[in-house]
Amino acid sequence: MENNARIVAFRALERCEKDHAWSAVTLDSLLRETELPARDAALATRMFLGVLQNETYLDHYLDLFCRTRTEAALRAVLRLGAYQLLFLDKIPAHAAVSETVELCRSVRLDRGASLVNAVLRRLSENKDRLPPIPGEGSASFLAIRYSHPLWLAERLMREQGYHQTEAFFRANNETAPLCIQLNRLRVSTADYLRSLDRLGISYRIFPELPGCLELDGGKVTALPGFEEGLFYVQDRAARIAVHAAGVMPGMRILDACAAPGGKSMAAVLDARGDCRLTGCDLHEKKLRLILSSAKRLGLEDCLDTLAADARSFRPEWESSFDVVLADVPCSGLGVIRKRPEIRRKGEEELQALPQIQGAILDNLCRYVKPGGVLLYSTCTVLQAENRDQLSSFLQKHPDFSAEDFSVGGIHSADGCYSFWPQIDGTDGFFAAKLRRKTL
């Protein structure tokens, strides 16, 4: 493969389309294969993510000048060209058109070169007088303007209103900061900040959440102290949720849906390395990821792993754990800004999730000791997976009550908190703290 930013962006789009692969994994793999110079890698990344984030918007304007039905590969080329014309002001229009036509030939789509040339030239000529998206104030307007599924726009407008939905969609099209949590068993916050200062890496600290830092992107493995296990990657919302559970030294903890392991690491660190944590997942491969992270951080002595279905009862665990973490399978709609491919999900794909989540909660609550905590969390923003689940659980399990928490500058109401990127600067996330009543 030629070391060309546009080719890499195209190949990444092609793999995501064909294999339904994660965007970050796909792009990282291709960048390693091609060894692009830093500047070209940055351009490939921006074009790839930009197309995924703005797919519907780009198609809306491409369709004004292209009445021909195009195959998926050619449509990806057209989107790359349109993204350069409509979003990348530093690339001259003539260069965006000519380079995209050349891209057709480079990826063996010669038959489409004339079509790409004609469509992009017309888009370039009219880009300063494109007609506005129709229906401002409607769900269809939001779906096109911010390239989110129409069903999600309609649903969130019913639940949150128009302005909250628009703000959420807009935030999803921005670049998410890189959030890391320091391993304060190995490094102090002050010492790690000095290492960032020496390298000229900018950061944001959160005094109310010690050891939590936000950086403006960057390659995780290139940050100081990665190999030495001085930090791990975890969004601030997830870190706050674990901290809210109130893990203390000497506790026994179950992380029932543990992969990729961030919450397990957070719980062990809250216990200052003095606890026994069991991390479970359905798949052995994912468990290996958890163990790898624990070893890098020097926390493996506190951790056991087990392949297990969180819906299947294990009698030996009944009333055995001080804290049970239940970060359940969910629609993932709160992390669209990090995984833009999620916006391709259809509503029908998600219909079974509330039933699965309810079954997991009904099972896991039996493992909590009297006086212990069940922490329910998701990385989504839908009420059916969040507050509705909480209400249903409390109705079925009167031996539990919701307990308010105040952690990291966040103050819950009714024992739960819904995080929003446009409000909290975090992933879209939900956390509920449930305390089992003493006998």
Residues annotated as part of the active site: 379
For the residues of 365-383, what is the DSSP string, one character each? GGGEEEEEEEEEEES---G
180 closest CA partner among 260, 125, 114, 238? 238
Within 10 angstroms of residue 254's Cβ, the number of other Cβ atoms is: 28
Q: Is 253 left (phi over 0), alpha (psi -120 to 50) or beta?
A: beta
How many Å separate Cα 132 from the centre of its chain? 31
Helix 5-19 crosses helix 38-53 at what angle (to 10 degrees)? 40
Tell me which DSSP letter residue 413 carries. Answer: B
Judge whether 389 and 330 are in contact, CB under 8 Å: no
- Can the peptide bond before residue 260 be classed as cis, meaning omega within 30 degrees of 0? yes
> Does the CA dihedral 41-42-44-49 come out positive or negative?
positive
Long-range interactions of 92-100: CB distance < 8 A, separation 24+: 93/124, 93/127, 94/124, 96/120, 96/124, 97/121, 97/124, 99/6, 100/6
Q: What's the burial of 142, exposed, middle or buried (CB within 10 Å: 0-12/13-18/19+)?
A: buried
**Hey, what are 73's tokens?**
């590969």
Sequence-distant (6+) residues with CB within 8 A of 373 are: 245, 246, 322, 323, 324, 403, 433, 434, 435, 436
Q: What kind and span of H or E run contains 17?
A: helix 5-19
C-alpha 325/C-alpha 377 separation (Å) is 8
User: Helix (H, G, I), strand (E, B), or coil: what is residue 416?
Assistant: strand
Q: What's the burial of 69, exposed, middle or buried (CB within 10 Å: 0-12/13-18/19+)?
A: exposed
